[in-house]
Amino acid sequence: MLIKFTTTRRYIALSVLIIFGLHAILSITHEGYGRATSLSNIASQMPWRRAKSGYVYPLEDYIPLPESDAATPADQHLRRHANATLFMLARNSDLEMALRSVRRLEDRFNSHARYPWTFMNEEPFTKEFKTRMRNIIYGEVAFLQAKAGREQMEKDGVIYGGSVSYRNMCRFNSGFFFRHPEMQKYRWYWRVEPDVHFHCDITYDPFIFMEDHNKTYSFTITLYEFGETIPTLWDAVKEFTKENPQYVAKNNAMGYISDDNGNSYNNCHFWSNFEIADMDFWRSEAYTKFFEHLDSKGGFYYERWGDAPVHSLAASLFLDRNQIHFFNDIGYEHNPLTHCPRGTVAFQKGKCKCDMAGTFDYDWRSCMPQWDRIQDGLIPG
């Protein structure tokens, strides 16, 4: 059947084509316009993204960090200080990128908070690395070698403990960094990677906030893992939970990691290059046995299981979902993805410099909708 176009219909069709053409051109040539009119930005402004009662929002009710400078003694910086460290895995060749990350977090937070930094490397850090890092850090600094932890693993009979590879580092991040003798003295850590950005002032202490609100794990970006890298991971997880149902929390976050009540894994995970977490959880019986079970399957080597899905699955299954916190107010970027705070309160109080329209939160690759659907309260608008 042929559709006949009247003159009026032709004009309408032509007008529509012109409008879409102009939109496409402006989206390409004007980045701000493209972001402002993107589906992800429009979705983030919808009414269902606004807060319900019950969402814990740090900036509205939390003790601010005191004003301070380099001359202020460390013990006078905070009314309370958590047993915590800022933690970075880095190579000597990462020096310039690592310096940029440290400088940014010192400027936005730690020049006031004065938490110690812990750096860990496969090899001994060079004198230049240590000197230049100490020059920009207000507080204490420790430089550790991951080899020491691996040597202890070998003594303990842990398979593959001495091998060095990308997969070994994923495995090390998943199951061993928190066991390093020097890390044992801390409860909390904030993971920082080389060349990341912190776009907002952090005017309160996230560690103390998590302690006071019974939080165990936190994130800023959530996205899909590449399924090709973890084809058998979910089968191994289901096998463990079937054999150890006592470790599965009643009010868990299954609705975040699965779209069919646990039959399959939807590949959603928290991007672990940013995480603030309680290492006592990683040291717990539940996580220790969980990691040992996964390790016995060989997926860190035969496939490419990363610490991000491993940490995410453990937190989602063994913690009450309210123990996992989304730090909306911490503006964070790990190229190519950025989380920019949603809502004018967080954006203005944090003196943020990121583009709210460019936040990854509701990009088509993001798992924020899966996180939202299990929340009692969403993000303030």
Sorted by where each starts, the structural domains of the chain and their CATH numbers stand as 47-372 (3.90.550.10)
Question: Does 172 or 309 have the greater pLDDT score?
Answer: 309
- The two three-digit tokens of residue 80, written as one number: 């309370």
pLDDT tens-digit map of 198-226: 999 999 999 999 999 999 999 999 999 99
pTM, 2 dp: 0.79
**Residue 361 has what pLDDT?**
95
**Residue 265 has what pLDDT?**
97
What is d(CA 138, CA 187) in angstroms, rounded to the nearest whole number? 21
**Residue 38 has what pLDDT?**
47
What is d(CA 66, CA 318) in angstroms, rounded to the nearest whole number? 36
What is d(CA 147, CA 161) in angstroms, rounded to the nearest whole number? 9
Question: Does 339 or 62 have the greater pLDDT score?
Answer: 339
**Residue 63 has what pLDDT?**
58
**Residue 164 has what pLDDT?**
46
**Residue 162 has what pLDDT?**
46
Contact yes or no for 201/108 (Cβ under 8 A) = yes
| C-beta neighbour count of 91 within 10 angstroms | 14
pLDDT tens-digit map of 49-63: 444 434 455 554 455
**Residue 268 has what pLDDT?**
98
* Region 236-247 average pLDDT: 98
Contact yes or no for 43/49 (Cβ under 8 A) = yes
pLDDT tens-digit map of 284-308: 999 999 999 999 999 888 888 999 9
Contact yes or no for 97/193 (Cβ under 8 A) = no
Query: Which residues are within 8 A (CB) of 355 and not within 5 positions of it... i.e. 6 or more apart?
Result: 32, 35, 338, 340
* Region 229-236 average pLDDT: 96
| C-beta neighbour count of 154 within 10 angstroms | 13
What is d(CA 254, CA 311) in angstroms, rounded to the nearest whole number? 14
CA gyration radius, the chain = 23
What is d(CA 91, CA 206) in angstroms, rounded to the nearest whole number? 27
Catalytic residue among 275, 285, 303, 333: 275
What is d(CA 138, CA 74) in angstroms, rounded to the nearest whole number? 9
What is d(CA 170, CA 55) in angstroms, rounded to the nearest whole number? 33
pLDDT tens-digit map of 65-98: 655 444 444 444 456 889 999 999 999 999 999 9
- Is 275 an active-site residue? yes
DSSP string, 165-211: SHHHHHHHHHHTGGGSTTTTT-SEEEE--TT-EE-S---B-HHHHHH
